[in-house]
Structure 1
Amino acid sequence: MPASRKTLVLYTGGTIGMQQSADGLMPASGFAERLRAQQLLQPGRALPDWQFRELLPPIDSANMTPRHWLAIAAAIRQGVEQEGCDAVLVLHGTDTLAYSAAALSFLLLGLEAPVLLTGSMLPAGVPGSDAWDNLFGALQALHDGAVAGVQLYFHDRLLHGARASKLGTASLDAFATLPRQRHEPRGSGIPPHLDYRQPRQPVELAVLPLYPGIQAAQLRAALAGNVRGLVLECYGSGTGPSDDAELLAALAEAHARGVVLVAISQCPQGHVDFGLYAAGSRLAACGLLDGGGMTREAALGKLFALLGAGLTAAEVAHWFAVDLCGERAD
C-alpha cells in the first residue's frame, strides 16, 4: 500500500461544495480555490500533492445517472494513465454515493490505483459540517497508503465500495458496510473483457421491489422500452408471489426475450437461497439469477458493467455468479 505521491481530486458536485440559493442549496463551481484555502489552515496534515478536476456542470447527486458513472470512470482513467496520478479522490453527493461507488467498483476492475469517494452531510463552511474532515481524512488515507480498488471514506472510516449503503440522513455517520460472510473475493484474476480499459456502452436497467399485491402489469411496465436488465428485490431468502401465474409468466417472457433478471433480498442482511422455499424455486424457474447477499447498489452497478461490456445474457449469468471484488457476501 504505497503512499500516494500525486492524487487526482475529481469534483462532481454534491452537498460538500453546495452554496445557498433562493431555491435552496445548489451545486457550485470554484471548489478548488476553497480547498486550497482550507488546506493552508491545516499545515500540520500530511497530505499528498493533488491536482483538481471538475466534471461540468457540477450536479446534485440526486440527478446522477449511469452516463455520469461512465464519465467519472473515464476521468479517472485519464488521470491515472495520462496525467500520472497514482490515486483518486472523488467528491460526490451522498444521496447516490453508494450507487456510484458500487458501479465504479466494477467499471474499474483491474485498475492498480486506489479510488476513494467521499462527500458530506453538510456543505463545507457551514457550522458543524463534516466536509473538511471527510475530505482531508480521505486525502490523509491516500497519503498513508490505501489498497487498489474502490472504497468510500466517511466519518473516519474506509468502507467497501461494493458493500456500502446510506442508512440515514440525520447523522453525520450516514454510511455503513453491510455484513459479509467472507473477506476476500472468490474470483481469480480479471477477465480481459471486464478490464477497466474496455469500453462500456450505457444500458437501460430497472429496479423493482416485490410487495403484497404487485401485479403483472406493473412488472411489464417496469420492463417496457429498451430495458436490458432488472434487479428484482424479493422477500427474505428470494421468495415472491409464486401463486400468481400471470406474474410468473411476465418474468418468463422477459427472460425469453433476453432481459437479464437478477434477484436480491429486500432485507439489509438477507441472502437469496432459491432452494429453501418452493416460492423461491418457482421464481428461479422463470430465469432469475441468484444475487446472493448483494446490495441493491452492487447488483445494479454490476449488471450495468456486465451488460455495458457487450456480454451476452449467458455470459452475464456466468460472471454475475462470480465474486469479482467482494460484492456477493455469500
Structure 2
Amino acid sequence: MPQPWIRSPRYDGLLILAPPFLALLVVLGLPASYRHSAAMPLLAWVALVVLIDVAHVYGTLFQTYFDPVRRRQRCTLLWVVPMACYAAGVALHSLGGLVFWRALAYLAVFHFIRQQYGFLRIYSRHDAPAPGRWLATALIYYATIYPLLYWHFSPGRNFNWFVEGDFIQIDWPLGRTIATVLYGGLITAYAARESWRWWRTRTFNVPRNLLLGGTLVSWYVGIVLFNGDLVFTLLNVVSHGIPYLALVWAGGPKPSQATPAPRRGAWAGRYGLAVFIGAVVLFAFLEEGLWDGLVWREHGAVFGWFQHLPTIASPAQLMWLVPLLALPQSTHYVLDGFIWRRQK
C-alpha cells in the first residue's frame, strides 16, 4: 500500500518518527544515577530545554506572523489570541503564582496530547473506513493520558512540568492499577486489530504504527518506568519538539496528498533553513535569558549578560511580568489549535 508520508520516508522517518526511539537509546546509555534522580547537567538543560523545547515554540511564527499569506488570512486571530492569553495569564497569576503555573501546565499537556493526535490524523488520512478504526485514536490518546494518570496517582516525582507542585498529585495505588490494566488491554486490542487487518488485507500503515509506538515508548518510559528529571525531559522534549519543527519546515501535508505546502516569506530562499533554525534558537536564548535575569537566577553561567538585569520579586510586578514572559508559550499552545486545521 502507498504510505501516507508528509514529505518522504527519509524525512518523516528521521525527523518525525525516529526521535522518541533515538531518545530512548540515549536514555538506556545514561548512568543509572540519572534514571531515578532530579539531577540535570547544565549542558543537557541547554540542549534540551533551550535549543529544543523553548526553540520549537517559535516555529509557530513561521506558520503565522512570518507568513505573509496566513498573516492576512488570520489577522484577527493573530491579534486576539496573544491579548487574550496575556489577560488570562495576569488574571490567573493574581490568584497566585502556582495557580498560573498549574493552568499553564495543563494547557501545555493538552497541547502535547493533541500534537500526537494531529500526527495520527495525518498518517491515517489514506486509511479506508474499517471496523475498529477507532482503536488507533483511543490508543494515541491513552498512550499519553495513562502516564499522566500514573503521575497524578503517585507520590512526589523527581521531575515536574514547569514548577514544583504544578500537577495535582494523590497517592492512590488502586487508581494506578486500574489505569494500568486499561492501558494493557487497549494495547492488546489494537495489536490484535492490526494483526487481523494484515492477515485479511496484507496492508500495514508504517508511519501510523511507528507514531503510536514512539508515543507509547516516550511517555511510558519517561514518566512511568523511570523517575528521573533528565530521562523525562529527554524523552518528552525530543519526541515533541523535533517533530514539530520538522512539520513546520515541511509546511504540513496538503489535504489530499503528501506533497508539502509551499514555504513563503524569508525562510523560503536559499538560506531558508539557516534562517529558520537560527531564528528559533535566537528567540529561545533571548527568552530564557530574560527569565533567568529577571526571575529565576539559576543559570548565570549561560546567561551572563542577563544577570545585570534587576531581579523582580514583588508579587504585584510578577503578576504582570510572568504572563508576559510566558506569552510565547501560551500563544503557541492556543494558535496550534487553529493553524493546522484542514477541511478534510
**TM-score bracket, shorter-length normalisation:** under 0.3
More helix by share: 2
| Higher RCO, 1 vs 2 (CA within 8 Å, ≥6 residues apart) | 2
Name the one with the larger strand percent: 1
Give the structure-1-normalised TM-score. Answer: 0.23
